[in-house]
A and B are shown apart, each in its own frame.
Chain A
């Protein structure tokens, strides 16, 4: 069977034009998707049933027992953490937030290790953003800053920027200019009209210098700023100023390097400065599939996009204090529920070690690095393959994903819903 308009469940681009051929519960081929998508659909090593660690070995257990024990662990904890959420759909994320409130837990999503600093900067100075459709149809200058879309978001350029024509950009090849800013050459920098190579940790100063030039204070800019020559800085500023519509996309190279949220703030303030002369927008390249959705859900329920601490009964948010990496590094948590992400692979070693030393439960379809740190793992259906639900694209557009076929697995809502009921019963 050929299924059209399938939404890819892998990265934040949420490409919705895939064509997938299936036979029963097997994916035969994926058209239109990038290699990451094909791998996601076909390379599927699912855990067959819930497992539980006793002594040093895994044993098979039932959904009933695993769910009951999960609820008990969470109810027992004084500082439980509910982490992950970026690989599942918003209906499951909603349940997670309500459960965190009942438990007095901290709930956090993967922004904590990717675009958390971007959100902090947006909270300080706002977000002049737009949807990807606007970029596709209007932008004649594209800036990728600290991002390598060819590897991390393979179809970003072909669907929205460099390689696609738009309504007002009749020939992308001739009309779109691409600027790539990074600390090293990448596949993406190779196709750039202007590649700006910054010394590591030097982005903040380069952004400051560009702001100065756009503001007419270029006379103060020294001969080089963080490895970038004065001439190139003026050239880049000129390209931006002569744009009809410019779009800046930034990645982890900017959010996770020295200065963190202040880098993003500086980039947003450059965008604002450019908007005095022409139209410019700025957007984060969100990586994990529905991480944007988790920010939306957390915000519409609690007022805060990630790292929400309910231990006092009301929502409190303070990255650096209530973020998972900080909580785990300080060994604060005494239980953890991981949903739809893999902190075992992405967190610093000390954090992973702490996860292994406390009762950690993972709800995830696959065996991954976090499995090795967990006491219990409950397999679920994969959203976008054998479960459907709503997810948000990196530009904040919600998209309903499709279910290609049914397997016997319950989805995240089914499992979390049962844990939630047990918690609710105990809390009265």
Chain B
């Protein structure tokens, strides 16, 4: 055996690892370029756009009712979110007030959706840290809320509950009983998962102190939703600027914004789990206080010229729909700002300095949803050059493209 007195110092080389667009850890196409030194991530670059389907452009050629169903298909996980927020925007543009009962049912769908989305996230988080047993368990219990949504709306994923001026389906008394029964079961299971997430070392040790996003950075980078609330930023449209039945929910004084000052992935996980339990309680409150009356108001198809901004707290954070109407039955311009778009910026920060093995859970912690977010960036597939198109150039080009088709 040879022995050297001088310890050798090895400087790990810098390596850039591309992840994606197809990657087993990601359910959606996105590409990340991580620059690592040994095990440490020193730089992260996010490259998305594989899902751009030009929804906003298609919408300009369709009537409001048709756009409602298109909006739903922006993202299958938060379908009621986009559907309901657009309905809200159109109603605001038409300056109509929808019946109270419709407001309650709309909010109920939203909250049920929040439950399903958060349980889905929890399962994915368990999966990312390699705790597959809990992944299977949580997805089994997710089927309970999927069944509730199916009995309520008739579909498992794209609910199509909202229409302009109200909702399409009523909640009967027998349905109410079914929903209440399902909610009881969900609450019990969610309390169990809360304890699993907090007391089970398998999970906790993987998320404790990982992907830290300090409060100040979260504020300056504009983090929204559970990502922001996990860093103690009080942003929740449901309480800050409530619409629909959230006004009553807030005034009842029984519900509070869920915040955590842990600032790491664990904090975001706790916020989501506790929020799910809150959402179950909210659903129960909504069902018990459901007012009587019609569920739908007639709205004429042509909407007067107007410019509105509708906000709602989606499961992932604040979603904004900006709508310009021009007196016809089609939107002049419709713009969607989905929460993942706001959370991207802070994510590159949280990745930096972490371990490579933690990258999947850090990525998952903002609950990214690329299909909501993808914008036009023209990337030449041959040489991978990236070309950002200003809006006017893009508009001219797309108009030319549409002209050549007709």
Real binding pair: no
Residues of A within 8 A of B (CB): none
Residues of B within 8 A of A (CB): none
